Amino acid sequence: MLPALVNTGQHDSYPSVTNDRTLYFFSNRSGGLGKGDIYLSRSVNGRYTKVENLGIPINTEYHEVDPFIDPDERYLIFCSDKPDGYGKADIYVSFRKKNGSWTQPINMGGKINTTHSEYIPYVTPDGRYFFFTTNKSGNRDIYWVDVRIIDQFRPENLKK
Protein backbone atom coordinates (compact mmCIF):
# COMPACT_ATOMS: atom_id res chain seq x y z
CA MET A 1 0.00 0.00 0.00
CA LEU A 2 1.39 3.37 -0.98
CA PRO A 3 1.22 6.26 1.50
CA ALA A 4 -1.76 8.60 1.93
CA LEU A 5 -0.10 11.11 -0.40
CA VAL A 6 -0.98 8.67 -3.20
CA ASN A 7 -3.88 6.61 -1.82
CA THR A 8 -6.96 8.53 -0.74
CA GLY A 9 -9.54 5.82 -0.06
CA GLN A 10 -11.23 6.87 -3.29
CA HIS A 11 -10.79 4.95 -6.53
CA ASP A 12 -6.99 5.30 -7.01
CA SER A 13 -6.06 2.81 -9.68
CA TYR A 14 -4.10 1.59 -12.70
CA PRO A 15 -0.52 2.53 -11.78
CA SER A 16 2.14 2.91 -14.46
CA VAL A 17 5.76 3.65 -13.55
CA THR A 18 8.60 5.34 -15.44
CA ASN A 19 12.28 4.43 -15.40
CA ASP A 20 12.90 7.09 -12.73
CA ARG A 21 10.03 5.59 -10.69
CA THR A 22 7.54 8.41 -11.30
CA LEU A 23 4.10 6.94 -10.70
CA TYR A 24 1.18 7.77 -13.02
CA PHE A 25 -2.33 6.64 -12.06
CA PHE A 26 -5.95 7.70 -12.22
CA SER A 27 -8.23 8.67 -9.40
CA ASN A 28 -11.71 10.01 -8.81
CA ARG A 29 -10.51 11.91 -5.74
CA SER A 30 -12.09 15.26 -4.97
CA GLY A 31 -10.53 18.39 -6.42
CA GLY A 32 -10.00 16.97 -9.91
CA LEU A 33 -11.10 18.44 -13.21
CA GLY A 34 -13.47 15.63 -14.11
CA LYS A 35 -15.09 12.38 -13.09
CA GLY A 36 -11.69 10.66 -13.17
CA ASP A 37 -8.32 12.33 -13.67
CA ILE A 38 -4.75 11.24 -14.31
CA TYR A 39 -2.17 12.12 -11.66
CA LEU A 40 1.51 11.62 -11.04
CA SER A 41 3.71 11.33 -7.99
CA ARG A 42 7.48 11.55 -8.27
CA SER A 43 9.84 9.29 -6.36
CA VAL A 44 12.40 11.31 -4.42
CA ASN A 45 14.88 9.41 -2.26
CA GLY A 46 12.64 6.35 -2.44
CA ARG A 47 9.50 8.18 -1.26
CA TYR A 48 6.58 9.37 -3.31
CA THR A 49 5.95 13.11 -3.32
CA LYS A 50 2.76 15.14 -3.30
CA VAL A 51 0.40 14.02 -6.05
CA GLU A 52 0.05 16.32 -9.08
CA ASN A 53 -2.98 16.43 -11.36
CA LEU A 54 -1.77 16.39 -14.99
CA GLY A 55 -4.33 19.08 -15.76
CA ILE A 56 -5.34 20.31 -19.19
CA PRO A 57 -4.94 19.12 -21.94
CA ILE A 58 -4.84 15.56 -20.52
CA ASN A 59 -7.69 15.83 -18.04
CA THR A 60 -11.15 17.14 -18.91
CA GLU A 61 -14.57 17.23 -17.29
CA TYR A 62 -15.00 13.59 -18.37
CA HIS A 63 -13.32 10.33 -17.27
CA GLU A 64 -9.62 10.09 -18.09
CA VAL A 65 -8.47 6.69 -16.84
CA ASP A 66 -6.09 3.76 -17.34
CA PRO A 67 -2.85 5.64 -18.03
CA PHE A 68 0.15 3.91 -19.55
CA ILE A 69 3.29 6.03 -19.41
CA ASP A 70 6.24 5.27 -21.63
CA PRO A 71 9.14 4.36 -19.31
CA ASP A 72 11.07 7.38 -20.63
CA GLU A 73 7.94 9.62 -20.45
CA ARG A 74 7.94 10.25 -24.20
CA TYR A 75 4.22 9.50 -24.49
CA LEU A 76 1.16 8.83 -22.38
CA ILE A 77 -1.67 6.56 -23.53
CA PHE A 78 -4.99 6.65 -21.70
CA CYS A 79 -8.73 6.20 -22.05
CA SER A 80 -11.44 8.83 -22.05
CA ASP A 81 -15.18 8.93 -22.49
CA LYS A 82 -15.17 12.49 -23.84
CA PRO A 83 -17.76 12.94 -26.59
CA ASP A 84 -15.42 13.39 -29.58
CA GLY A 85 -14.60 9.68 -29.78
CA TYR A 86 -15.70 6.68 -31.79
CA GLY A 87 -17.62 5.01 -28.98
CA LYS A 88 -18.36 4.91 -25.28
CA ALA A 89 -14.66 5.16 -24.30
CA ASP A 90 -11.67 5.56 -26.60
CA ILE A 91 -7.90 5.33 -26.31
CA TYR A 92 -5.87 8.53 -26.76
CA VAL A 93 -2.16 9.30 -26.93
CA SER A 94 -0.31 12.46 -25.92
CA PHE A 95 3.37 13.20 -26.44
CA ARG A 96 5.78 14.96 -24.11
CA LYS A 97 7.02 18.25 -25.57
CA LYS A 98 10.58 19.47 -25.14
CA ASN A 99 9.38 21.94 -22.47
CA GLY A 100 7.86 19.08 -20.42
CA SER A 101 4.21 19.83 -21.22
CA TRP A 102 1.92 17.43 -23.09
CA THR A 103 0.47 17.71 -26.58
CA GLN A 104 -3.27 17.82 -27.10
CA PRO A 105 -4.42 14.18 -26.79
CA ILE A 106 -5.00 12.42 -30.10
CA ASN A 107 -7.69 9.79 -30.55
CA MET A 108 -5.91 6.64 -31.78
CA GLY A 109 -8.48 6.17 -34.53
CA GLY A 110 -10.48 3.35 -36.01
CA LYS A 111 -7.65 0.79 -35.99
CA ILE A 112 -7.91 0.81 -32.18
CA ASN A 113 -11.25 2.40 -31.24
CA THR A 114 -14.74 1.14 -32.07
CA THR A 115 -18.32 2.19 -31.33
CA HIS A 116 -17.95 0.26 -28.05
CA SER A 117 -15.43 0.81 -25.22
CA GLU A 118 -11.66 0.46 -25.42
CA TYR A 119 -9.52 0.64 -22.31
CA ILE A 120 -6.50 -0.69 -20.41
CA PRO A 121 -3.71 0.29 -22.84
CA TYR A 122 -0.33 -1.30 -22.23
CA VAL A 123 2.98 -1.49 -24.07
CA THR A 124 5.10 -4.57 -23.43
CA PRO A 125 8.39 -4.09 -21.53
CA ASP A 126 10.38 -4.85 -24.69
CA GLY A 127 8.56 -1.97 -26.44
CA ARG A 128 7.34 -4.14 -29.32
CA TYR A 129 3.60 -4.57 -28.79
CA PHE A 130 0.67 -2.39 -27.80
CA PHE A 131 -2.13 -4.24 -25.98
CA PHE A 132 -5.60 -2.93 -25.21
CA THR A 133 -9.00 -4.28 -24.19
CA THR A 134 -12.26 -3.83 -26.05
CA ASN A 135 -15.79 -4.99 -25.43
CA LYS A 136 -16.83 -4.90 -29.10
CA SER A 137 -17.77 -8.60 -28.98
CA GLY A 138 -19.74 -8.18 -25.77
CA ASN A 139 -16.82 -9.63 -23.81
CA ARG A 140 -13.65 -8.02 -22.51
CA ASP A 141 -11.28 -9.17 -25.22
CA ILE A 142 -7.59 -8.30 -25.39
CA TYR A 143 -6.05 -7.23 -28.70
CA TRP A 144 -2.53 -6.33 -29.70
CA VAL A 145 -0.86 -4.42 -32.52
CA ASP A 146 2.70 -3.48 -33.39
CA VAL A 147 3.80 -0.62 -31.13
CA ARG A 148 4.83 1.39 -34.21
CA ILE A 149 1.19 2.40 -34.52
CA ILE A 150 1.93 5.01 -31.83
CA ASP A 151 4.45 6.80 -34.05
CA GLN A 152 1.86 7.58 -36.70
CA PHE A 153 0.28 10.01 -34.20
CA ARG A 154 3.56 11.65 -33.07
CA PRO A 155 3.82 15.28 -34.25
CA GLU A 156 6.63 15.86 -36.77
CA ASN A 157 8.49 18.23 -34.44
CA LEU A 158 8.70 15.47 -31.79
CA LYS A 159 9.98 12.69 -34.04
CA LYS A 160 13.56 11.58 -33.49
Residue 80 lies in a domain: yes
Residue 5 lies in a domain: no
Residue 91 lies in a domain: yes
Residue 79 lies in a domain: yes
Q: Exposed e or buried b for every residue in 42-63, given b needs 16+ CB within 10 A?
A: eeeeeebeebebbeeebbbebb
Residue 92 lies in a domain: yes
* pTM for this predicted structure: 0.93
Q: Cβ(40)–Cβ(119) under 8 Å? A: no
Residue 133 lies in a domain: yes
Question: What is the CATH classification number for the domain harbouring 126?
Answer: 2.120.10.30
Residue 4 lies in a domain: no
Number of domains making up the chain: 1
Task: Give the closest residue to 110 by CA, choosing from 94, 90, 128, 93.
Answer: 90
Range of the domain at 109: 12-158
- The per-residue pLDDT string of the chain (160 residues; one tens digit each, 9 = 90 and over) reads 676 677 677 777 899 999 999 999 999 988 889 889 999 999 999 888 889 999 999 999 999 999 999 999 999 999 999 998 999 999 999 999 999 999 999 999 999 999 999 999 999 999 999 999 998 888 889 999 999 999 999 988 887 6
